[in-house]
Amino acid sequence: MAPFLIYRTGLFFRFFMAGPGRIYYTIPDMNPWHNITSLSYRQIKELQNSRLEHFINTHVYPFSGHYRKLLDDNKINPRHVKSISDLRLLPFTSKLDLVAKDDPQRFKDFILQPDQEKIRQFWPKDRLLKLAVQSLLKGKGFVRESLGKEYRPVFMTFTTGTTNSPVPFTYSRYDIENLNLSGSRMVNLFNIQSDERIMNIFPFAPHLAFWQTFFGALESGVFALSTGGGKVMGTEGNLTALMRTKPSVILGVPSYIYHLVRFAQERKQDLSFLKKIVLGAAKVTAGYKQKLDEMLSDCGAKGVLIFGTYGFTEAKTAWAECPAENNVSSGYHLYPDKEIFEIIDPQTGQVKDEDQDGELVYTSLDARASVVVRYRTGDFVKGGISHGPCPYCGRVTLRLSSDISRLSDTKDLSLSKIKGMLVNLNHFAEVLNNIAEVDEWQIEIRKHNNDPYDSDELVVYMTPKKEINEKTFSEMLKDKLMGATELAPNEIKFVPLDEMIKRLELETANKEKRILDNRPS
Ligand SMILES: [Zn+2]
């Protein structure tokens, strides 16, 4: 009788502690960074080497349809991948591989699909032995269920969809645990205490930013209100929620955060409870931070720390800067136990040193469900990756320079041929965001008379912050745009703020319509 009682009590205790549906009770690590920050640079590299070898040989090659074929077609033995430098044996993966136009189901080739036969063939003896023992003690059903938890897709996000067609990317329960971990690492990095409140204003959508924030707060045990952004609750609704919740931290996309703070400023609200603003999903300029800071100060929120995050669908995670004085960008604090970043020359594909400028190439070390290896992000970083203690927070991890521009956007829109010239539209954004008098702007590229054979026209729609002399302002603007892009706009149209908000779809779209290409294709 006694052993039975002990067993029952033990089970009850575990159940009581963990709650139903979560039998694996573990004490959460108080410091989610511990696994990285306790290692030296050399130890980090050793960890990455061994994880890479394991990941390629135990998960990717055996279970990924795409990579199995890729390695076989190129006669590459996965056993030869033993360290980071061996990665260059493998061809790159690009977005085009994920979204083949002729095959909408292509993304499934990137999902790990284990079966009994492949497990027997590829898994090391010790892991097979463990499975056999589990099967004997707890039954085949238990083994099937635990493999299901590790591999079966249960969640999905898409790319934001400014470029190409959206790419579906799946997560298993195992991946959700990793999403929880990166989320709690970020909450820890932001130095958010358990008695603080956060407001998640990212648009509610199957996009990484919203869910990374949602899961991160949940895992860290911090109160979070996820409003879903302007499209779900309206700006009036978001402001009401903000004033009632009084969060110390808000997270969202730069354009909407800016819009919401301006909305609060116009209504003379007291935002003195705000301490930190975390921006995601878009590049911000120093000019943007300064303008936002001025509006916040006007609302009584002085010295608010404004900083950014970086992430993309295929990584199933995001990385963040730590808050630094004077809104300096501290660099994205990476998770070298979970991924490898290479830096390459975007033209030649040649691998460069870690601290060089170049295109970022991502390889997962610990993903299940959808997996990419040597994925070309199309993002160009200036300043590469640095190591050693962070000068702002002291954490020892790899840090990725914050100066990243999305080359991927440029492939079909930003790098556009206007008036016969190849123009990087990111430069327009940089110029316009950094002019203190500019509140909102939009660029329209169109054909003269809407005739597909006629010449291109570039129109700038402009909402200034205050009364300005339109003529002198237009001349200054033309000069600045000419200097940065060698292209002068045909026309600068001044429009009132409410009309501009509609033009940009600030309150109705997940991503604002900053640059419109209205040329008939
Ligand atoms: Zn730091």
- Cα-to-centroid distance, 107 and ligand 1 (Å): 35
Would strands 491-494 and 456-464 be described as parallel, antiparallel, or unpaired?
parallel
pLDDT in tens, the chain (521 residues): 333 333 333 333 333 333 333 333 344 457 899 989 999 999 999 999 999 999 999 999 999 999 999 999 999 999 999 999 999 999 999 988 888 777 888 899 999 999 999 999 999 999 999 999 999 999 999 999 999 999 999 999 987 654 557 788 999 999 999 999 999 999 999 999 889 999 999 999 899 999 999 999 999 999 999 999 998 999 999 999 999 999 999 999 999 999 999 999 999 999 999 999 999 867 788 888 999 999 999 999 999 999 999 999 999 999 999 999 888 889 999 999 999 999 999 999 999 999 999 999 999 999 999 999 999 998 999 999 999 999 999 999 999 999 988 764 433 444 556 666 666 777 788 888 888 899 999 999 888 888 877 788 889 999 998 888 999 999 999 988 888 877 888 899 999 999 999 999 988 887 888 888 888 76
Note the pLDDT of residue 410: 39
Tell how far the Cα of 321 is from the centroid of ligand 1, in angstroms.
7
* Ligand 1 centroid to residue 323 C-alpha, Å: 7
Residue 322 CA to ligand 1 centre (angstroms): 5
CA 38 to centroid of ligand 1, rounded, Å: 15
Residue 484's Cβ-side half-sphere holds a number of Cα atoms within 13 Å equal to 18
Ligand 1 center to 31 CA (angstroms)? 15
Structure tokens at 13: 């205790």
Which of 208, 97, 220, 219 has the alpha carbon at shortest distance from 155? 208
- pLDDT score at 2: 38
pLDDT on residue 425: 72
Residues, Cβ < 5 Å to ion ligand 1: 322, 330, 390, 392-393
Cα-to-centroid distance, 290 and ligand 1 (Å): 21
Q: How far is the CA of 87 from the centre of ligand 1 (A)?
A: 28
In the reported structure, the alpha carbon of residue 266 is separated from the centroid of ligand 1 by a whole-number distance in angstroms of 35
> Ligand 1 centroid vs 249 CA: distance in angstroms?
18
In degrees and rounded to multiples of 5, residue 160 shows phi and psi of -65, -25
Find the 11 Cα to ligand 1 centroid distance in Å: 42
CA of 324 to the centre of ligand 1 (A): 8
Q: How far is CA 306 from CA 172, 223, 279, 294, in A?
A: 33, 20, 7, 12
Distance 329 CA to ligand 1 centre (A): 10
pLDDT value for 27: 43
Query: Ligand 1: distance of its center to the CA of 459 in Å?
Result: 41
**pLDDT confidence of residue 17:** 35
214: phi then psi, degrees, rounded to nearest 5? -60, -55
pLDDT at 7: 34
Q: What is the DSSP string of 122-166?
A: HS-HHHHHHHHHHHHHH-HHHHHHHHHHHHS--EEE---SSSSS-
**What's the gap in Å between 252 CA and the centre of ligand 1?**
20
CA of residue 226 to ligand 1 center, whole Å = 26
Nearest to 403, CA basis, from 291, 282, 283: 283
Cα–ligand 1 centroid distance for 394 (angstroms): 6
Q: What is the DSSP string of 217-281?
A: HHHHT-EEEE---HHHHHHHHHHHHHHHH--SEEEE-HHHHHHHHHHHHHTT---TT--EEEE-S
Give the pLDDT of residue 367. Answer: 98
Centre of ligand 1 from the C-alpha of residue 182, in Å:
15
> Could you tell me the distance, in angstroms and rounded to a whole number, from the CA of residue 396 to the centre of ligand 1?
8
